[in-house]
Amino acid sequence: MAKPASRPLVYVADEPDGDPTQALTPERIKAASRRHPGLFDKFRFAYGADPKRADPKHLAEAEIVLGVAFDPLTLRAQAPKLRWIQSLNAGVEKLAPKLDPSFLLTNASGLHGPKGGEFGLTCMLLLNHAVQRFVGSQRRHEWTPVYTTPIEGKTAVIAGAGALGQAVARQAKRHRMKTIGINTSGKPVAGFDRVVKAKDMARILPSADFLVVTLPITRATENLIDRKAIDLLPAHCGIVNLGRARVMDYAAMAERLRAGTLAGAVLDVFDPEPLPKDSPLWDVPNLIASPHAGVDDGSVYVARGLDIFAENLRRYLGKRKLKNLVDLAQGY
Amino acid sequence: MAKPASRPLVYVADEPDGDPTQALTPERIKAASRRHPGLFDKFRFAYGADPKRADPKHLAEAEIVLGVAFDPLTLRAQAPKLRWIQSLNAGVEKLAPKLDPSFLLTNASGLHGPKGGEFGLTCMLLLNHAVQRFVGSQRRHEWTPVYTTPIEGKTAVIAGAGALGQAVARQAKRHRMKTIGINTSGKPVAGFDRVVKAKDMARILPSADFLVVTLPITRATENLIDRKAIDLLPAHCGIVNLGRARVMDYAAMAERLRAGTLAGAVLDVFDPEPLPKDSPLWDVPNLIASPHAGVDDGSVYVARGLDIFAENLRRYLGKRKLKNLVDLAQGY
């Protein structure tokens, strides 16, 4: 075993004010260490006393930061030895554009699959069965039945055919839905009946019974689902956004929901978050606001994230290419 | 072909004020007749001008009533030739106890399977993913994330293992849930890992992640899920009722929901219906009120019901035992 002083320092930067189920606690890191015997001892771990502020003493030594709580500028100024940041988020849009390209950034893409796919299906099913209308009527004490039909054979257009999009497609296939993916290349992806290039999406949006957005926010996806795209969706279409808010023109969507020319929406992501108290989005008819909890699994999220981190610790020691490496130029 | 005068008269009694998707229109009966060539011509069909009132002229001649809009006492007094009533509902609790035992009553059990099973799954999934809490927080413009876990491996206790209960169990199995049925006999039923007798349900209720009620209302099921049964459910349990309201003690359930000691409920059935404007149930926290539309399929309900009716017309002509015959003493 390496001498203590030569062991690389991992600085654990827990998200401040996060949910306890998502916390990077010493206990959870100890549990991960037990799942990967002999690995974590090859590193030193340090925790800042104040999770909101980087501890300069630790930063000065850190080769690795686990978590994303610190400002990229602080990292650049105060962490001369830093080489790699492992985020436990899938979306790293706040970090990636500001990082020095010499840093390695890895994310937690793939963690959201089992829970996120199921949540995506849940949203389609509840929209299919008009639950968004029932909860609206319920507020007004109104009894307004809507006789819906099974989801089998209906079409899910899934914008983003990455890990989360594929998980949603797999769940849709369990219910014999048609699945059309949208990505950059238009190349086939498992679980999708068809994949079309983003630039050709106007051709398929009119056939969407559901539009499910699973895209990260990048220069290429910002406002990709713009007013023109939204206007191509049929009136019975339901919208789900599990990706990032700014991929989609929420104002255009809200207009159609208010006009009654879209069936409904379940949005799990907003900009900013938390959604401000006075946001008009809270009260848009047939819109269900989910507080960015749809794709994170309360029981296993941190544990699975730490397993990705452990795999990367192994690769880091072996000087091999890290898993889930983010292309800083592309942003995902 | 039989002479016109000898053809039995079918009096079509459409539900007044019903949803158009559920209406027994002459067009739909004509379409059913085309699906069963040579059968419907062996009968005469009559429609009352006022669907709310039986037309005495038609009733006097009717051997068969299709639909359930007429009062049983009217039928007894004014329909001397009446032998058989085909209802297009699965639950016939209003009709069965008042009918003369010499009448044949058939229902539409089995029609609700594909849509009803999917709706049952939808309710479990949305409860599993805390949607009932999100819509409550949304009313107060509050951002309160809850990090849930996938439904796989969780336990659905399904009270009622008939056609609808089996359909819910099949959907639950698609998501690798455990399924425990409750029925009278405790005998095994397809799709259920286990079936227990109603009198033994106290043993399994504490293990329910979800309790889904699919029971008709009869003397045996009235208040079957009473306060004692509800108090055995664990705090994380979600309740779904797709059967009949009076099977369950809603007041006891509402108390636990208000106390925050049950995860949530989706109720599709109430007593009376429509749920009155001033019912306290509208505002119970974590309760979603669905306006008795959950199990009826808007696209195919009437068509499938008329196909059951056609099969029974064939049996009636052949003097064979009718399908879906209701035991008037048992009430289902």
Q: Average pLDDT in the A119-134 region?
A: 98
Residue A72 confidence (pLDDT): 83
Whether residue B135 is predicted with pLDDT greater than 60 in this model: the reply is yes
* Percentage of chain A lying above the pLDDT 70 cut: 98
User: Does B154 have pLDDT greater than 70?
Assistant: yes
Tell me: ipTM over 0.90. no
What proportion of chain A, given as a percentage, has pLDDT over 90? 75
Q: What is the mean pLDDT of residues B156-165?
A: 96
Q: What is the pLDDT of residue A90?
A: 85
Query: Which pLDDT score is estimated for A94?
Result: 82
- Collect all residues of chain A within an 8 Å Cβ-Cβ radius of residue B147: 19, 21-22, 293, 296-298, 301
Angle at B120 between CA B119 and CA B124, to 5 degrees: 115
pLDDT at B189 over 50: yes
Please check whether residue A19 touches B, CB under 8 A: yes
Q: Cβ of A272 under 8 Å from any chain B Cβ?
A: no
Using one digit for the tens of pLDDT, what is the confidence trace for B261-297? 999 999 999 999 999 999 999 999 999 999 999 988 8
A113-289 maps to CATH 3.40.50.720: yes
Topology (CATH level 3) of domain A4-111+297-317: Rossmann fold (3.40.50)
Q: List active site positions of A.
A: 244, 273, 292
| pLDDT surpasses 70 at B170 | yes
Q: Per residue in A41-81, pLDDT tens?
A: 999 999 887 777 888 999 999 999 998 777 888 888 899 99
* Eight-class DSSP state of A4: G
Mean pLDDT of A72-93: 89
What is the distance in angstroms between the Cα of B69 and the nearest Cα belonging to chain A? 19
pLDDT one-digit tens code per residue, A267-309:
999 999 999 999 999 999 999 999 999 988 888 888 999 999 9
Task: Provide mean pLDDT across the span A100-113.
Answer: 86
Give chain B's radius of gyration (CA, Å).
22
Q: Do domains A4-111+297-317 and A113-289 have the same CATH topology?
A: yes
Q: Do A297 and B148 touch (CB under 8 A)?
A: yes
Residue B211 confidence (pLDDT): 98
Q: Are A48 and A11 in contact (CB under 8 A)?
A: yes
Query: Lowest mean pLDDT: which of A177-191, A199-213, A234-248, B102-116?
Result: B102-116
Q: Measured between beta carbons, which residues in chain B are less than 8 angstroms from residue A282? A: 138, 141
CB B295 within 8 A of CB B112: yes
| Three-state secondary-structure class, residue B159 | strand
Selecting from B126, B141, B147 the residue whose C-beta is nearest the C-beta of A126 gives B126
Given a cut of 80, is residue B113 above it in pLDDT? no
CA distances for A53 relative to A45, A115, A252, A294, B74, angstroms: 17, 32, 39, 28, 80
- The domain limits of chain B are 4-111+297-317, 113-289
Question: Residue A1 above 50 pLDDT?
Answer: no
State whether B122 and A129 contact (CB < 8 Å).
Answer: yes
Q: Do B147 and A274 touch (CB under 8 A)?
A: no
Q: Rounded CA gap, B253 and B231, in Å?
A: 8
In a mutagenesis test of the A interface, which of B115, B121, B124, B143 is the best target, namely the one with the most A β-carbons within 10 Å? B143
> Nearest to residue A151, comparing CAs of A182, A174, A118?
A174
The phi and psi torsions of A83 (rounded to 5 degrees) equal -120, -30
* Chain A residues with beta carbon closer than 8 angstroms to that of B288: 131, 134-135, 138
User: What mean pLDDT do residues B217-243 have?
Assistant: 97
> Six-digit token pair at A175?
């219910």
Residue A5: band (very low, low, confident or very high) from pLDDT cuts 50, 70, 90: low
Name the minimum distance, in Å, from the CA of B57 to any CA of chain A: 34
How much is the pLDDT for A2? 46
A90 against A214, higher pLDDT: A214
Given a contact cutoff of 8 angstroms between Cβ atoms, the answer to whether A268 and A241 are in contact is yes
* DSSP 8-state secondary structure symbol assigned to residue A206: G
Query: Is residue B1 scored above 50 in pLDDT?
Result: no
Q: pLDDT over 70 for what percent of chain B?
A: 98
